[in-house]
Amino acid sequence: MHVPDGFLNLPTSAATGVVAAVGVGLALRGARRELNERTAPLAGLVAAFIFATQMLNFPVAAGTSGHLLGGALAAVLVGPWTATLCITVVLIAQAFLFADGGITALGTNVVLMALVGVWVGWGVFTLLRKVLPKKLVSVPIAAAVAGFVSVPTAALTFAVLFAIGGTVPVPATTVAIAMGSVHLLIGIGEALITAAVVSAVLAVRPDLVFGARSLNRITPLEIKESVPA
């Protein structure tokens, strides 16, 4: 899933790196709005959660299995800015500590998964929330569609990048069709899992679902002054 080193040429990698840096810079500012001083502890936790979730394999058929990508899921659960940061951090750790995804391709991976994956998912989600009735039931549905759309979109973005700066001459349409069709299937799985996870969280702690925040009465945590006896 992760783009390894040497797949795209140097200018493309550098360009995606710049885009990734700008996007993450914006996300750093946005995340402070979403989480204020709790940013680092809770974003770190969500990153660890996504990392761990990606290790959980869902059996598909005939012994193969896939895992969750989690871009749309993270956006719905914790908000798009925080999700961008979390997935970026996950990708950094995977590239450096687990050799999963190239280090020079880090910018590309961040663009594909942390920017395109999260923001397309979030865009679809907010759009659907406007269309669907304002009830809790519509939240998992919107999340599912967001998950379904975000995965093939990220794949097609890769196909475009590959057409611009691929190191191997393959017809762009071949790449797009191959990537698109495979990720369409992955997207279906992503949609089902995202919907199931979001509704599981909604059932127990609806206040934790960022995307359903407008439906909740917000009770902020407050530290009360002690009363003298």
Partner 1 sequence: MGFVCCVVATPTGSYWPFLGQFGVLVLVAAVAGLAPGRLLRALAVEVPFVAFALAMPFLATGPTTSVLGWQLSVAGLHGAVMLLAKSTLSVLAALILAATTEPPEFVSGLQRLRLPALMVEILGFMIRYLGLIAAQWRRMAIARVSRGFEGRNLRAWPALSGAVGSGFIRSYERGERVHLAMLARGYDGEMPAALGSSRSARPIEWAVAAGLVCGTAILSWWLR
Judged by CB under 8 A, the chain residues 98 through 157 that form the site for partner 1 are: 98-99, 102-104
- β-pair partners for 67: 57
Query: b vs e for 152-175, b when ≥16 Cβ sit within 10 Å of the residue's Cβ?
Result: bbbbbbbbebbeebbeeeeeeeeb
List the interface residues with partner 1, window 12-71 (CB under 8 A). 24-25, 28, 31-32, 37-49, 51-53, 55-61, 68
Asked if 75 is part of the footprint of partner 1 (rule: CB under 8 A), the reply reads: no
134 phi/psi in degrees, rounded to 5? -80, 70
List the interface residues with partner 1, window 3-22 (CB under 8 A). 3-7, 10
CB of residue 16 to partner 1, shortest distance in Å? 14
Helix (H, G, I), strand (E, B) or coil at 134: coil
CB of residue 195 to partner 1, shortest distance in Å? 8
* One residue of 111, 120, 142, 175 binding partner 1 per CB under 8 A: 175
Rg value, the chain, Cα: 19
Asked if 225 is part of the footprint of partner 1 (rule: CB under 8 A), the reply reads: no
What is the H or E stretch that residue 66 is in? Answer: strand 65-67
CB nearer to partner 1: give 91 or 149: 91
Asked if 163 is part of the footprint of partner 1 (rule: CB under 8 A), the reply reads: no
User: Identity (one letter) of the amino acid at 17?
Assistant: G
Q: Which residues contact 59 (CB under 8 A, 6 or more apart)?
A: 65
Q: Which residues contact 27 (CB under 8 A, 6 or more apart)?
A: 81, 82, 84, 85, 88, 114
CB of residue 51 to partner 1, shortest distance in Å? 6
CB of residue 4 to partner 1, shortest distance in Å? 4
* One residue of 131, 135, 168, 228 binding partner 1 per CB under 8 A: 168
Helices (H) and strands (E) in the chain, counts: 8, 2
CB of residue 123 to partner 1, shortest distance in Å? 22
CB of residue 209 to partner 1, shortest distance in Å? 10
CB nearer to partner 1: give 137 or 182: 182
Asked if 218 is part of the footprint of partner 1 (rule: CB under 8 A), the reply reads: no
Helix (H, G, I), strand (E, B) or coil at 65: strand
Stretch that binds partner 1, among 109-117, 129-137, 143-151, 174-182 (CB under 8 A): 174-182
